[in-house]
Amino acid sequence: MLVRPDEKMPIARLLTFLEQGERLANECAKAQAALAPDFGSRRFLLSQARQEAAHALVFQGAITWLAPRHLGDAPFLPALEEYRRLLNDALVRQDLLETFLAEQVILEGLGEAILTRIEAGLAKRAAPFGRLRRILLQQEEAHHGFGRRMLERAMADGRINTQTLRRCAQDYLALTDQMVLTLSGLFESIAEDPTAWANDVRKFLPEWLNQPGHEAISCQPSATVGPEQLKAEY
Residues that bind Fe ion (CB under 5 A): 22, 25, 52, 55, 108, 140, 143
Q: What 3-state class would DSSP assign to 224?
A: coil
Q: 57 vs 217, which CB is nearer to Fe ion?
A: 57
| Smallest separation, CB 25 to Fe ion (Å) | 5
Instruction: Give the whole-angstrom CA distance, residue 12 versus residue 131.
Output: 20
Instruction: Give the whole-angstrom CA distance, residue 24 versus residue 56.
Output: 10
Q: First and final CA of the chain: distance in angstroms?
A: 38
Q: 66 vs 136, which CB is nearer to Fe ion?
A: 136
Greatest C-alpha distance within the chain: 56
| CA distances from residue 40 to 44, 46, 150 in whole angstroms, order as listed | 6, 10, 12
Q: 7 vs 27, which CB is nearer to Fe ion?
A: 27
Please classify residue 129 by burial: count the beta carbons closer than 10 Å to its beta carbon, then call 0-12 exposed, 13-18 middle and 19+ buried: middle
Q: What is the 3-state secondary structure (H, E, C) of 40-92?
A: HHHHHHHHHHHHHHHHHHHHHHHHHHHCHHHCCCCCCCHHHHHHHHHHHHHHH
Instruction: Give the whole-angstrom CA distance, residue 181 versus residue 193.
Output: 13
| Smallest separation, CB 218 to Fe ion (Å) | 26
| Smallest separation, CB 111 to Fe ion (Å) | 6
| Smallest separation, CB 44 to Fe ion (Å) | 11
| Smallest separation, CB 29 to Fe ion (Å) | 8
Instruction: Give the whole-angstrom CA distance, residue 34 versus residue 181.
Output: 34
Q: 7 vs 98, which CB is nearer to Fe ion?
A: 98
Q: 20 vs 164, which CB is nearer to Fe ion?
A: 20
**By the 8 A CB rule, do 185 and 194 touch?**
yes
| Smallest separation, CB 22 to Fe ion (Å) | 5
Q: 22 vs 95, which CB is nearer to Fe ion?
A: 22
